[in-house]
A and B are shown apart, each in its own frame.
Chain A
Amino acid sequence: MNEKILIYGGLFVFCAVVTFPFWYNLGNASVAPEILLSAAAKEAQTCVADKSYMKNQHMQILNIWREDVVRQGTRSFQGMNGKMYTMSLSSGKDSCMGCHTNRSQFCDRCHTYASVNPYCWDCHITPKEIN
């Protein structure tokens, strides 16, 4: 009988410890950030791919672009809307940052919420920095 108490007691303690992060943070979930579009992005209406795709896969696109620009030397990209874009994060008007000029409201909000720290801006210059 003593073993029964030990086993169940131990199991309880184990479960409590393992699930600690879940119940400790219960009800503390922060609100999903609101992403603001810049005036230029609103005007353009479409991105290089549709919104849901960009939401999930923009890092993959950037990775492919980086490979293409640096290694293959190609810089033109046909978006899903058929329009041609320059494959660039930060150079020129039709680059990512050329349209999404508000990094802090567009990129950073989501990145901070998701706790990711991309090192894009260690080198790439955001338009904001000139002001």
Chain B
Amino acid sequence: MENTRRNFLKIAGISALGFGVGSLVSATTQVEHEVAPTQQPAEHNTEKLPEPKPVENVKSESSTQSAVKTAGRWGMAIYTSKLTEPIRKKIISACHVTHNVPHMENKRHEIKWIWEEPYTHAFPENEHEYIDEKTHTQPFLTLCNHCNNPPCVRACPTKATFQRADGIVLMDFHRCIGCRFCMAACPYGSRSFNFRDPRPFISQLNMDFPTRMKGVVEKCNFCAERLEMGKMPACVEVSEGTIVFGDLHDPNSEIRHILKESYTIQRKQNLGTMPSVYYIV
């Protein structure tokens, strides 16, 4: 058949009609779908997801704790000299039990959320040869600094590590591919990689917090899950007042008063990461 103008116009007309009918059909089915979503057979019910409706008041009403839930930027101040060995042990154990942190015998497989570090390692640029005995020998509690300018967040290729509006540098373990770029980027060694399945190495399982799996990086989360329930972080709770936690953006918060009154140092401040953890020496 030769292509004539007449034939072309015929085909074009029929196609236009076809498209019109098609869109009409889909439009009517959509209307039906919206009118009676529950009466539709299950397999048609695929496009619409119920919107999660977070209700903020519900939590605060039911929770008995009245502690702050939100902050401009969460921060922590540690009274290093008041930290005795039993308190330090208690803090580390509380953190690790709360978050199902495994205890690995092999140092190279170690998972750390909060741990002890000598001054030389924690503050290498402050170290000098005649440093006072006490500072030199005393262990410091180190944890993720929840930097305001976090290098790990920039390094993460999958956005598994991200910074929340309240300053907490958090991890979405679901999304971590275990590339360990964040570990290379973190100047504080605050991140640990699960070389092995951690579950057999957890002595006491906390049912309310997931474990991690092999091939995932993990670190301190500033107890984001506890803050949401109006509780203080686990380490702060058992610290007997040696760790102060609060909103750095609130000039009337306890932590800001402490920072105003005492001389504090930060880890590797010169790197420009702007840590949110302060040490009162």
Contacts and interface: CB of A to CB of B under 8 A. Distances in A.
Interface of A: 49-50, 52-53, 55-57, 60-61, 64-66, 68, 70-78, 80, 84, 87, 90-92, 119, 122-125, 127, 129-130
Contacts of B207: 90-91, 125, 127, 130
Interface of B: 38, 41-43, 45-46, 49-50, 52-56, 58-59, 162, 164, 166, 170, 172-174, 205, 207-213, 224, 228
B55 A52 contact: no
Given A75-B228, A80-B50, A119 B170 contact: no
Contacts of A66: 172, 174
Contacts of B58: 76, 84
Nearest to A87: B52
Contacts of A49: 50
Contacts of B205: 125, 129-130
30 contacts: A50-B38, A53-B42, A56-B43, A56-B45, A56-B46, A57-B49, A61-B49, A64-B49, A65-B52, A68-B54, A70-B170, A70-B174, A71-B164, A73-B164, A74-B52, A76-B55, A76-B58, A76-B59, A77-B53, A78-B52, A78-B55, A80-B50, A84-B55, A87-B52, A90-B207, A91-B208, A91-B209, A123-B213, A125-B210, A127-B207
B228 A73 contact: yes
Contacts of B224: 73
Provide the main secondary structure of the chain B interface: loop
Contacts of A92: 208
A92 B166 CA distance: 25
A75 to B, nearest CB: 6
B185 to A, nearest CB: 20
Contacts of A123: 173, 210-213
A127 B45 CA distance: 31
Contacts of A73: 164, 166, 224, 228
A20 B211 CA distance: 44
Q: Name the residue among A72, A76, A127 with the largest chain B CB count within 10 angstroms.
A: A76
Q: Name the residue among A71, A122, A129 with the largest chain B CB count within 10 angstroms.
A: A122
Given A73-B164, A77-B53, 17 more contacts: A49-B50, A52-B41, A52-B45, A53-B45, A57-B46, A61-B49, A61-B50, A65-B52, A68-B54, A70-B174, A71-B164, A73-B224, A75-B54, A77-B54, A80-B50, A90-B210, A129-B205
Contacts of A90: 207, 210
Q: Enumerate the 9 nearest inter-chain pairs by beta-carbon distance, A residue then B residue, closest first.
A: A74-B54, A52-B42, A122-B213, A78-B53, A123-B210, A91-B208, A70-B172, A124-B210, A76-B55
A59 to B, nearest CB: 11
Contacts of A129: 205
Contacts of B208: 91-92
A97 to B, nearest CB: 9
Given A50-B38, A52-B45, A57-B46, A76 B54 contact: yes
